Amino acid sequence: MGQQRARQSRPGPLLLVLMGVSGVGKSTVGKILAKKLACSFYDADDFHPPGNLSKMRAGTPLTDADREPWLELLHALLSELEAQGESAVLACSALKESYREKLTQDLPGIRFVYLRAGYVQLRERLAQRNDHFMPPALLESQLADLEEPAGAVVVDAGPAPPVVAAEVVRQLDLEVT
């Protein structure tokens, strides 16, 4: 796990959750941010149980019940990181307020960054993916589930990922390596 280098107003690790629908660039931007912040990067997709991945590959949207064990794993990860004083960036859709509440239960210091892009751009990005389990057909269900977060930093995900990452750093006033 990386050394904390972020300037912030409270002690403790910097835990950022990059959220938004599939295709918005969470993983790409998250990896860039983690490198700039000299901290670890985690992709919530890596924590899905095989059954969830199979459903999504088949074009079946996940239910809240499908997501529950996944969210519990992610909360455990964030809790462990905070307990160890480790900073990290987590790329996670976190589409609903209830999901964000589950992620942050007893972890008030987590910061959410909502990456937002237009529908046409999202469809184009998803259509260009060849190696991802999430088919473009599920974009509509994700947009239907999306509850835009109150209190999150909102960043336009339209520009190139390094530009988006730089805007996150600017809006959060973070010190980078």
Is 1 a member of any domain? no
In the structure encoding, which two tokens stand for residue 121, read together? 């751009």
**Segment 33-47 mean pLDDT:** 95
Is 75 a member of any domain? yes
State the pairing for strand pair 15-19/88-91: parallel
Contacts for 117 with CB less than 8 Å, ≥ 6 apart: 20, 23, 24, 25, 125, 156, 157, 158
Q: What local confidence, expressed as pLDDT, does residue 7 receive?
A: 40
- Looking at residue 90, what DSSP letter applies? E
In this predicted structure, the answer to whether residue 119 has a pLDDT above a threshold of 80 is: no
Only one residue has tokens 């993983």, namely 27
Is 113 a member of any domain? yes
Is 9 a member of any domain? no
Is 12 a member of any domain? no
**Segment 8-26 mean pLDDT:** 81
Is 83 a member of any domain? yes
- Looking at residue 62, what DSSP letter applies? P
Q: What local confidence, expressed as pLDDT, does residue 135 receive?
A: 56
Is 42 a member of any domain? yes
**Segment 34-40 mean pLDDT:** 96
In this predicted structure, the answer to whether residue 8 has a pLDDT above a threshold of 80 is: no
pTM of the model: 0.85
Q: How confident is the model at residue 57 (pLDDT cuts 50, 70, 90)?
A: confident
Only one residue has tokens 């473009």, namely 136
In this predicted structure, the answer to whether residue 147 has a pLDDT above a threshold of 80 is: yes
In this predicted structure, the answer to whether residue 6 has a pLDDT above a threshold of 50 is: no
Is 13 a member of any domain? no
Neighbours of 161 (CB within 10 A): 17
**Segment 116-140 mean pLDDT:** 70
Higher pLDDT, 175 or 165: 165
Domain extent for 107 = 19-88+98-172
In the structure encoding, which two tokens stand for residue 156, read together? 């336009």
Higher pLDDT, 29 or 3: 29
Number of domain units in the chain:
1
Q: What local confidence, expressed as pLDDT, does residue 144 receive?
A: 84
In the structure encoding, which two tokens stand for residue 80, read together? 């462990």
53-85 burial code (b ≥16 CB/10 A, e <16) = eebbeeeeebeeebbeebbeebbebbeebbeee
Q: What is the CATH number of the domain that holds 50?
A: 3.40.50.300
